[in-house]
Chain A
């Protein structure tokens, strides 16, 4: 049990995809303007991650190594397309806000990386826990980024105004460079914090 927890925690702190591995940043930069989008993106990524990790781990013993990458890609893109279709049908406004970045989950190296590096070598249970940890780690960080960007960029949180009327929006926070600034600050904080605890 403790072992499982440590695998889960690995995705959140030890090897956090955004702050530590720094992979899959493309969608983070684009989507993290509003907290709502962040949560949806996090949920979508987590779903694709967990389900593709599960399947990859299930079939890991009879996938020949020459075709493993096409097979992983097919699996990941299948789940991504499912998410895309379902979102278009039942959450059209969110799907519109995210635009092309939902289909682009296919090429998110975070998911491919976990499939190749973890799920294809470990039993199903562990793979699910690992994928869940990674997904939650991704969601937490992207939401934390979105919180700062929405607050400073629009003066709102979850589209509810929090600053007085005459607040001057920080334009840079709405643009992709703003995401870089916030990510940089978070990485610095995490490094400071983890070095101290060592």
Chain B
């Protein structure tokens, strides 16, 4: 008897609750798209928000509904993109991923300082009025806001010239640093070999020469020398068309200041001068 009574009571309770729960589950069933769950399982699950959606589940829903492209997760990278593409039956073309690059070479010895900054160690604080201690209004301030914001510890500040160094192996292309930089000297570029203009200045040639040794003087030699007509000049600065460029390197050779640079997935940004000096020393990259 001691055995039977509890078993019967608990068994009946279980039965009653089971009926209740199953009935409730049917009554209040929420239609869910099984695709959402599948996509969410593929996503990294860090809920970093770099995609612009509320967490990974938010992005998964958007992808399943076709509102977002399969390559919307900047952190995921090609492997995850193609996996999601397979799930929703969409081809993913952009399989190389993106990386952050620094488009300014105006380090401490190179660019002129017009003032002595003493304040919060943060680029945003130091450029409140778009004027700062650096004479160039477009140059990197080097106070490391990008370093602090990077969730993957991919950015360090070079102690020699106070410019950020981006570790490409760690950079996931999430774009947080691009967002935070008040000077706009960081950019996300496709992770492949290409020529970049490492200067954002819109100043006139005289002004540029006065304040920075590696600033673009708008001489337009590169425009003239490019055999593919990939380089153009508009709105006060040089533009390089990535589609037309065939990486011949003539512009790099011709550029008198050396503000045109080559980016490669392996070595990052390489200036023409540096490449040449390496060649001289017999170092192969």
Contacts and interface: CB of A to CB of B under 8 A. Distances in A.
Contacts of A66: 21-22, 24-25
A64 B14 CA distance: 14
Main secondary structure of the interface of B (DSSP, over half): helix
B233 interface: no
B169 to A, nearest CB: 13
Nearest to B29: A66
Interface residues of B, number: 7
How many of chain A's residues touch chain B, expressed as a range? under 10
A5 B166 CA distance: 36
A179 to B, nearest CB: 30
Nearest to A195: B153
B17 interface: yes
A79 to B, nearest CB: 15
B27 to A, nearest CB: 11
Contacts of A74: 14
A85 to B, nearest CB: 13
A67 interface: yes
A65 to B, nearest CB: 8
Interface in B1-58: 14, 17-18, 21-22, 24-25
B34 to A, nearest CB: 13
A67 B18 CA distance: 7
Contacts of A64: 22
A164 interface: no
B247 to A, nearest CB: 36
A74 B18 CA distance: 13
B162 to A, nearest CB: 25
Nearest to B25: A66
B17 A70 contact: yes
A62 to B, nearest CB: 13
B279 to A, nearest CB: 36
Contacts of A67: 17-18, 21-22
Interface string A54-82: 00000000001011001000100000000
Nearest to A66: B25
Contacts of A70: 14, 17-18, 21
A66 B27 CA distance: 12
A153 B215 CA distance: 66
Contacts of B25: 66
Interface in B134-185: none
Contacts of B17: 67, 70
A51 B3 CA distance: 23
A67 B16 CA distance: 12
B28 to A, nearest CB: 10
A20 to B, nearest CB: 16
Contacts of B22: 64, 66-67
A191 B25 CA distance: 43
A70 B15 CA distance: 12
Interface in A15-63: none
Nearest to B26: A66
A67 B14 CA distance: 10
A72 B25 CA distance: 18
A64 B17 CA distance: 13
A70 B24 CA distance: 14
A64 B22 CA distance: 9
Interface string A86-111: 00000000000000000000000000
A51 B109 CA distance: 67
Nearest to A65: B25
B45 to A, nearest CB: 13
Interface string B231-267: 0000000000000000000000000000000000000
14 contacts: A64-B22, A66-B21, A66-B22, A66-B24, A66-B25, A67-B17, A67-B18, A67-B21, A67-B22, A70-B14, A70-B17, A70-B18, A70-B21, A74-B14
Interface of A: 64, 66-67, 70, 74
Given A66-B22, A70-B17, A74-B14, 11 more contacts: A64-B22, A66-B21, A66-B24, A66-B25, A67-B17, A67-B18, A67-B21, A67-B22, A70-B14, A70-B18, A70-B21
